[in-house]
Structure 1
Amino acid sequence: MLPLKEVIVLLSIIYGITSVSLKNEEARNNTQRNLRRFPPNFLFGVATSSYQIEGAWNEGGKGWSMWDHLMRTDPDHMADGKTGDIAANSYHLYKRDIEMMKELGVKIYRFSISWPRILPFGRPDYVNPEGVAYYNNLINELLANDITPFVTIYHWELPQNLNEQGGWLTENIVDWLGDYARVLFQNFGDRVKHWLTINEPYIHCNNGYGRGNHPPRIQSPGIAFYECGRNILLAHARAYHIYKEEFAFQGGQIAIVISSDMGMPSDDSESSAEAVEDYRAFYVGQYMDPIFSANGNYPQRLIDRVANASASQGLSQSRLRPFTQEQIDYIRGTSDFLALNHYTSKYVYRNSSIIGTFQVPSHQDDAFVGTYVDPSWTQGGTWLFTYAPGLYKLLVHLKERYNNPTIYVTENGFGDWATGLIDENRVAYLRGYTNAVLDAIDAGVDIRGYCSWSLMDNFEWAAGFTLRFGLYEVDFEDPNRTRRPRKAALVYKEIIRSRVIDPNYNPDPYLEDSNSSAIVVKTSALFILVSAIIHKLL
């Protein structure tokens, strides 16, 4: 039997622990009441793409994509020599993926459909019923869990036989993509109300047809790069018009996904201001202006600089093939909203130090600007540096330049070489960039939703599995591809639940239930249990 004095001390300690937990919870609630809130209709989501997560590369009647071809012919091109043959195995684990979305509380899932899984030979002569069934199951499961599908029609997964017939360098692809899009509208449009035609034209054309580090690995940054972009704009417009003319009765919306860093002047000089305008013309306006500007067409700065550079290189015509007026009119206005992918920012300059630093010809040489980042910015992957105000500045710029379009941020996230569940850099990135979204809302930007890239670790293209973007960690050495939430997932969950960004919220990803109210309950239960034991001893 314990002495009465020791019993009192023990009870006091337990009571003190409980009181501190309750006070911490109350303090956190008070803090949250004083923080800015996301509007009640603002939608949070997560994003992925088919090749990066699905796996099942040769299952279910799927044909070869140009990535499948690269994996068979040159797997050593990947940073780790790995392939996307299995990836995160979401073809078989999609229900677990949706469970994760439910855990987070998201209302949007942005995913892409694999062109060769639906049309194994690229054309609509044969529609693969197993592929249709897979995406029907995925879409139905999402809707059953109150999650809205945002479906990307093309996320870089071109059927290999179409690639061999010219891919994005032939204007035939305008018809090919249109026919493929029509099949998707026919099969899924009764339930999918948000369509995204093509993901990141600049990145796709630069990596596939400029730098050549993605398939089809063509290195032509001054010619094929522009032709790829031109055909992407025409193909996007074709898909848009097919939807509006043949499927308007479905009542959905359709847009294109544009990627953009934020280019900022390096100083107050006139040369920096000019450099920024040229940077934005080449890296944003090339794909934005033809769709979202009042007059359509490429930015005049882009047209003039490529024409002048082409002439100086002895060419009789510009390497940037012009649109006809009919094509300009066909492309202009073909987006019901702007789907924006943003990750990082750059300072932009132009001086003699960049002379001779670019390949000739190339779009980099045509733009003729230099860029750098602030060394104080947190670095993730090789190209990703954290500067959250850049997103705010970009959103305000788009509002002012393109007459305040409706915007969804369809990708934003932090990639790191590190594994593990404690991802403080990703947490800081997430808080900073969602705060930038709140700043943009306060500034009058018509932004309706935000999607974190990515729901889970995936096959990160040429980086293989070395670069991790996931809110959930995937164990790629485990045949079961086990997924576990990182700290950033729990922080995002709390932002979604509370609709505020609480800088003091500090979950422990190693606890099954890490919210503070659960800690209070567990402490209170401990108090009751110990009290009962002591009572029995007495």
Structure 2
Amino acid sequence: MKQYKFSDNFLFGSSTSGPQSEGFYNKANKNIWDYWFEISKEKFHNQVGPEYTSNFFRDYKDDIKLIKETGHNVFRTSIQWSRIVKDFNTLELDETAVEFYNNVIDELIKNDIEPIICLYHFDMPLKLQEIGGFENREVVELYARYAAKMFEIYGDKVHKWFTFNEPIVVAEGGYLYKFHYPEVVSFKRAAQVVYNMNLASAKAVKAFKESGKKGDIGIILNLTPSYPRDENNKEDLKASHICDLIFNRSFLDPAVKGEFPADLIDFVNENNLTPICEEGDKDILRENTISLLGINYYQPRRVKARESKFESDALMPENFFEPYEMPNRLMNPYRGWEIYYKGIYDIAKNIQENYSNIKWLITENGMGVENEERFIKNGIVEDDYRIEFVSEHLKWLHKGIEEGSNCIGYLMWTPIDCWSWLNAYKNRYGFIRFDLESGKKTIKKSGYWFKELVKNKGFEG
């Protein structure tokens, strides 16, 4: 048995988001999920939509008490743009929402839990999607103004900010694979969204610097290390390189280095994907890099060179590679995702060696399980699988930190079982169970284990 110890100031906690936890209560505007559920209920698991989610808007004091009971010293959530802004052009705010987020931040601080705030978590306001969402440069400017206002209001109490959560998912979900609204299939439009969101993030970073508020600002990226089938096969290596450029480095490089990778620029130009740019954009990206990187890690990507023509009416990323299933891989059967613990170490080393060893933290790492009520004994979910999932990832993260990686924290997805987009409540991720019928919330075995982990600044394993 080995002792895995973390520093006294290491951040241990979990993450959620506004649209997945708050419910629709008192919202000033609809977002794209509210609307999509209205018009396409059949797309959502068991036709459960975002109206109630886990009722954080109503129950935040009791929820934070439970979060405290599971040992957290940090907690991440997001402000809903559609909740807090009444009029996007005039930036008139909804005072009920302003007070709500103030109360949440104050309640966290009162409980010795540091608040981390993300400004955008997949929840484009419907009125702004109607004018093109992040395809439209006007929305980029509106987002930057919204960000500046949030820093002004909450910046004296919040010292860790993130501009976006998983922005590549906005592009791939909404503009390639149709698992987010507006269900478009266009690589070129996806490329424009990627470009504009990079620009929007940089403009928000600029606004934070100009605000004079103390703290860090960054972006949260869901990094999926791209492993080739055969490290000695040039075509497999090329396939994994293209995959890495599209899904990882399209945001990682601009955020940390202030520029897009030269190979990615060549790729989009060669494939007629070049986004519309404006003079001065390069300067904005170069001068407004992040000071803190958030990384969501769930699974790797394993790819190989295409062995047959990809049949599609539209150009897609899969024209350039195809998935490779590694023999004997460990799987989460409920999500169809590979579990690869060492991937978290590979990310740590990549950041250390190729991205100036920037300060970073794991902002999500999670184990989604279906029908968790099967594991209830004496009123508690016996989720040993989640404890194993966390501890095995932490062992590899610990190794990366021992070798010099500048990781300052680990946040699990999620504190309380939350609504998860089209999947609704199909898979449960929380340290705390949420009973959909009664609304009751109870700490799982993993929540009690996590409390001991934080108390001891580590674990034995």
TM-score normalised by structure 1 residue count: 0.81
Rounded to whole Å, the distance in 1 between the matches of 2:364 and 2:427 is 16
2:95 aligns with 129
Q: 1:359 to 1:485 in 2, by over 3 A?
A: farther
- SS of 2:458's equivalent in the other structure is coil
2:203 aligns with 238
Which of these residues, 282, 285, 292, is aligned with residue 331 of structure 1? 285
Give the superposition deviation at 1:324: 5.7
Rounded to whole Å, the distance in 1 between the matches of 2:361 and 2:276 is 30
In the alignment, structure 1 residue 497 sits paired with structure 2 residue 451:
no
Give the superposition deviation at 1:187: 1.4
Q: 1:268 to 1:116 in 2, by over 3 A?
A: closer
> 260-269 or 236-245, which moves further after superposition?
260-269
- SS of 1:154's equivalent in the other structure is coil
Q: 1:380 to 1:143 in 2, by over 3 A?
A: farther
Listed one character per residue, the Cα deviations across residues 295-353 of structure 1 (whole Å, up to 9, x for unaligned) are: x4322222223333x3xxxxxxx213265673122113521111111111132221424
Give the superposition deviation at 1:61: 4.8
Give the superposition deviation at 1:94: 0.5
Rounded to whole Å, the distance in 2 between the matches of 1:61 and 1:392 is 41
In the alignment, structure 1 residue 289 sits paired with structure 2 residue 257:
no
- SS of 2:4's equivalent in the other structure is coil
Please identify the structure whose Cα radius of gyration is greater. Answer: 1
Which of these residues, 260, 263, 279, is aligned with residue 243 of structure 2? 279
1:45 aligns with 13
Which of these residues, 171, 176, 187, is aligned with residue 210 of structure 1? 176
Q: 1:447 to 1:357 in 2, by over 3 A?
A: farther
In the alignment, structure 1 residue 343 sits paired with structure 2 residue 298:
yes
- SS of 1:202's equivalent in the other structure is helix
More helix, by proportion: 1
1:303 aligns with 265
Tell me which amino acid in the other structure corresponds to 1:471.
F
1:426 aligns with 386
- SS of 2:179's equivalent in the other structure is coil
Give the superposition deviation at 1:274: 2.6
Structure 2 gap segments, 5+ residues each: 374-380
Give the superposition deviation at 1:138: 0.4
Rounded to whole Å, the distance in 1 between the matches of 2:109 and 2:193 is 35
Kindly report the root-mean-square deviation, in angstroms, between the aligned alpha carbons of the 2 structures: 1.8
1:96 aligns with 62
Listed one character per residue, the Cα deviations across residues 393-442 of structure 1 (whole Å, up to 9, x for unaligned) are: 12111221111111111111111213131223222111111112101101
Rounded to whole Å, the distance in 1 between the matches of 2:79 and 2:460 is 35
Tell me which amino acid in the other structure corresponds to 1:106.
H
Contact 1:358/1:364 (<8 A) preserved:
no
Query: Structure 1: which 4+ aligned runs deviate by more than 4 Å?
Result: 322-325
Listed one character per residue, the Cα deviations across residues 481-512 of structure 1 (whole Å, up to 9, x for unaligned) are: 21112222222222111122234xxxxxxxxx
Counting aligned pairs with the same residue, the percent is: 26
1:28-107 matches, within 5 Å, as 35-55=3-23, 57=24, 59-107=25-73
Rounded to whole Å, the distance in 1 between the matches of 2:103 and 2:166 is 27
1:168-187 matches, within 5 Å, as 168-187=134-153
Contact 1:63/1:159 (<8 A) preserved:
yes
Tell me which amino acid in the other structure corresponds to 1:469.
Y
In the alignment, structure 1 residue 411 sits paired with structure 2 residue 374:
no
Q: 1:380 to 1:95 in 2, by over 3 A?
A: farther
Contact 1:286/1:302 (<8 A) preserved:
yes
Tell me which amino acid in the other structure corresponds to 1:410.
T
TM-score normalised by structure 2 residue count: 0.94
Listed one character per residue, the Cα deviations across residues 187-242 of structure 1 (whole Å, up to 9, x for unaligned) are: 1111111110111111111111221221222222x112111111101111111111
Contact 1:381/1:417 (<8 A) preserved:
yes
Tell me which amino acid in the other structure corresponds to 1:368.
F
More strand, by proportion: 2
Q: 1:453 to 1:86 in 2, by over 3 A?
A: same
Rounded to whole Å, the distance in 2 between the matches of 1:133 and 1:38 is 36
In the alignment, structure 1 residue 259 sits paired with structure 2 residue 222:
yes
Rounded to whole Å, the distance in 2 between the matches of 1:83 and 1:471 is 22
Q: 1:346 to 1:42 in 2, by over 3 A?
A: same
Rounded to whole Å, the distance in 2 between the matches of 1:465 and 1:76 is 14
Q: 1:358 to 1:443 in 2, by over 3 A?
A: farther
Between the two proteins, the alignment pairs up a number of residues equal to: 452
- SS of 2:115's equivalent in the other structure is strand
